[in-house]
A and B are shown apart, each in its own frame.
Chain A
Amino acid sequence: MGSRIDRVMEKIRAGLAGLPEDTIRRALDYYREFIAEAIEAGRSEDEILQRLGDPGEIIEQIRAEASFDKEKTFTETPSPGLGGPSRTGVTKNRDVRGRVFSSVARACAGKILLTLGVFSLYVLGIGFYIIAVGAFISALVAVGLMVNGISEIAPGYTWEKIGTAGAGIFVAGFMAATGFLLWMGANGITRFAHGLWRGDIRRELEQDRETAGLKQGDDRIKKGLTVFATVALFGLGISVPTGLPLQYFLIWNSVKPACEVHTENYNAADIREIEVKTLNSMIIAEVGEKSVDNEIRIIYEEAGWMRGTFTVSGDKFIFREESRRRLPFLDFVARHEGMTAVKVEVPPGYRARAMALTSKGGHIAIALPAGDIKTRTLTGNIRFDARGSSYALRAVVKNGKIIAGGRPLAGGSYTAGTGAENTIEIESAGGTVTIEGVELQHDNY
């Protein structure tokens, strides 16, 4: 055998490395046999080489066929009616009777499998369509939220407006791209199911049309994705430099922002009632360790997007934390605990007539003997240390739990203390209420 032919065979063998042993052996056997026959028939080396064709192409073909075989074993089912291709891997040495019998069985099983397969493909496709529509709606919602968010921002905060617009554009673009991709996926799935169902000769013709259609679809996918991805990136490019996304990220992940600390002192004798209301700053009410006698001290850590107001009306002190309308959606974000705090320090022995401490998302910690206390949060946790006071306590949680005296309690409400002089009302919709220093024998839940 000519050495050029040997070299071609060697090349083929090397190119097939990695394929199943069996596949390689079969292919090499085939080509060896062909070469031997051709030599026997008196063909010249050139002729043989020409008939063999390009070894690269041979390798590619065998590889393609091998992967096709593998796929087929799992996916191919006989087509309905026209008895198209049967399952691969048919046993070769069965007698005719066995073959006929098994082909009938296969045809039945195949039909059922095909129906099931086509049906589930359709269901899958419809599911994709629905999710795609959801994604498109989300894109529209994102635009609406963006407009609303911008209108929430007070005049003067231009960067925040730009940042919000960018974020809205990003989300809208991203959702549209997702929806688009899902839509095209649904399209492909249902078309495939359709083709599978129609089957056979028409299928072969159809397939040509379909591959053309899919190619067209591919192009459309590429184009659509490019457009939407560009929109999303554009939005991101506008938004990120304004620092707004980072801001939200930090808030959401409870990172304490840079803040300005305000301290106000009041004569304790003048203040009989204390009312504190925050968005998501923590409220801490305690006996100040270093506080001067007869002085109530309020320390507020003010983040750049919040405004704290301190007012005294008669003998009532009122603190309010409000949004500067600089960050949009703060109402929503404020459900998340903030890391800033307003601290109410009272002198030892001080008793307010009444205290009302309310926060939307912040934690509340109370550790002082006081008069009537009302404290509420939406999602924050409340810790109440009752030591040293005499009270009738009632705590209510909706979704959180109550831990009293270190013991988690079943149920959403808890009362302790009997007919004492002060009333303590604790209410948290979503947080945990922890009560310390209670006498557990008073449990009467």
Chain B
Amino acid sequence: MDPQLKKGILDALVLSILEEGDTYGYQLSERVARILELSETALYPVLRRLEAQGWLGTYAVEHNGRLRKYYHLTVAGQKRLRQYVEELTELERIIRIIAKGAGNHGEQN
């Protein structure tokens, strides 16, 4: 998959999982892995990026004598998620056209 596209979809996926409730890293990773194949390698940078953008926040909870880092969606993150959904809907429409049209609809660069 195009890396740019995959990045966007991954971002949206993580945000949408968090919308259902705060989650800690391992659980999040399991849930993402259930939907698409992904190593930790790929997930960590996504979380870092989303956090850096201010779309998700973190807090720590003690668990078995160590700290478990929880991720939660911020207001900006909710907004961004809604936007992603719109964008992906639009993308879906385009993809349908592409899949159907076999490249004969005149758009040329």
From A84-92, A223-231, A326-334, A361-369, the one touching the partner chain is A84-92
Q: Does A208 lie within 8 Å of B2, measured CB to CB?
A: yes
Q: Which of these, B4, B47, B49, contacts A204 with CB under 8 Å?
A: B4
Whether A33 contacts B41 in the complex (CB less than 8 A), given A26-B48, A208-B4, comes out as no
Residues of A within 8 A of B67 (CB): 33
CB distance from A23 to the nearest CB of B (A): 9
User: Is residue A6 contacting chain B, with contact meaning CB distance below 8 A?
Assistant: no
Q: Which of these, B29, B45, B91, contacts A34 with CB under 8 Å?
A: B29
Whether A40 contacts B109 in the complex (CB less than 8 A), given A61-B41, A65-B48, A88-B54, comes out as no
Q: Which of these, A41, A90, A205, contacts B26 with CB under 8 Å?
A: A41
Give the distance in Å from the alpha carbon of A205 to the alpha carbon of B83 in the complex. 15
Whether A64 contacts B39 in the complex (CB less than 8 A), given A30-B25, A208-B4, comes out as no
List the B residue with the shortest CB-CB distance to A56: B41
Residues of B within 8 A of A204 (CB): 4-5, 8, 87
One digit per residue, 1 when the CB lies within 8 angstroms of any chain A CB and 0 when it does not, for chain B 46-59 equals: 01110011100110
Q: Does B40 lie within 8 Å of A51, measured CB to CB?
A: yes
Residues of A within 8 A of B54 (CB): 86, 88, 90, 92
Give the distance in Å from the alpha carbon of A72 to the alpha carbon of B4 in the complex. 17
Interface centre among A38, A53, A209 (most CB of B within 10 A): A53
User: Is residue B104 contacting chain A, with contact meaning CB distance below 8 A?
Assistant: no
CB distance from B68 to the nearest CB of A (A): 7
One digit per residue, 1 when the CB lies within 8 angstroms of any chain B CB and 0 when it does not, for chain A 85-116 equals: 11011101000100110010000000000000
Contact-size category for A:
35 or more
User: Is residue B69 contacting chain A, with contact meaning CB distance below 8 A?
Assistant: yes
CB distance from A228 to the nearest CB of B (A): 26
Residues of B within 8 A of A40 (CB): 64
Residues of A within 8 A of B2 (CB): 208
Residues of A within 8 A of B44 (CB): 27, 30-31, 58, 61-62
Interface centre among A36, A37, A41, A96 (most CB of B within 10 A): A37
Give the distance in Å from the alpha carbon of A415 to the alpha carbon of B109 in the complex. 75
Give the distance in Å from the alpha carbon of A53 to the alpha carbon of B57 in the complex. 26
Determine chain A's interface SS by DSSP, over half rule. Answer: helix
Q: Does A33 lie within 8 Å of B69, measured CB to CB?
A: yes
Q: Does A52 lie within 8 Å of B39, measured CB to CB?
A: yes
User: Is residue A29 contacting chain B, with contact meaning CB distance below 8 A?
Assistant: yes
User: Is residue A213 contacting chain B, with contact meaning CB distance below 8 A?
Assistant: yes
Give the distance in Å from the alpha carbon of A64 to the alpha carbon of B4 in the complex. 14
Residues of A within 8 A of B35 (CB): none
Give the distance in Å from the alpha carbon of A170 to the alpha carbon of B105 in the complex. 48
Give the distance in Å from the alpha carbon of A86 to the alpha carbon of B54 in the complex. 8
Q: Does A64 lie within 8 Å of B45, measured CB to CB?
A: yes
One digit per residue, 1 when the CB lies within 8 angstroms of any chain A CB and 0 when it does not, for chain B 2-18 equals: 10110010000000000
Residues of B within 8 A of A53 (CB): 39-42
Give the distance in Å from the alpha carbon of A89 to the alpha carbon of B42 in the complex. 21
Q: Which of these, A36, A58, A83, contacts B83 with CB under 8 Å?
A: A83
List the B residue with the shortest CB-CB distance to A53: B39
List the A residue with the shortest CB-CB distance to B90: A201
User: Is residue B96 contacting chain A, with contact meaning CB distance below 8 A?
Assistant: no
Q: Does B39 lie within 8 Å of A34, measured CB to CB?
A: no
List the A residue with the shortest CB-CB distance to B87: A201
User: Is residue B79 contacting chain A, with contact meaning CB distance below 8 A?
Assistant: yes
Residues of B within 8 A of A99 (CB): 74-76
Residues of A within 8 A of B58 (CB): 92
Whether A88 contacts B52 in the complex (CB less than 8 A), given A33-B69, A201-B87, comes out as yes
Q: Does A92 lie within 8 Å of B57, measured CB to CB?
A: yes
Q: Which of these, B24, B27, B45, B76, contacts A86 with CB under 8 Å?
A: B76
User: Is residue A218 contacting chain B, with contact meaning CB distance below 8 A?
Assistant: no
User: Is residue A293 contacting chain B, with contact meaning CB distance below 8 A?
Assistant: no
CB distance from A48 to the nearest CB of B (A): 9
Q: Which of these, A34, A64, A68, contacts B40 with CB under 8 Å?
A: A34
List the B residue with the shortest CB-CB distance to A43: B26
Q: Does B79 lie within 8 Å of A83, measured CB to CB?
A: yes
Q: Does B41 lie within 8 Å of A30, measured CB to CB?
A: no
Residues of A within 8 A of B79 (CB): 83
Query: Shortest 9 CB-CB distances between A and B: which pairs?
Result: A90-B54, A53-B39, A37-B26, A53-B41, A201-B87, A65-B45, A58-B41, A61-B45, A88-B52
Q: Report 19 cross-chain contacts, Cβ distance below 8 Å, ordered by A residue.
A: A30-B69, A33-B25, A37-B27, A40-B64, A53-B39, A61-B42, A61-B45, A62-B44, A83-B79, A84-B83, A85-B53, A85-B80, A88-B52, A90-B54, A201-B90, A201-B91, A205-B94, A208-B4, A211-B4
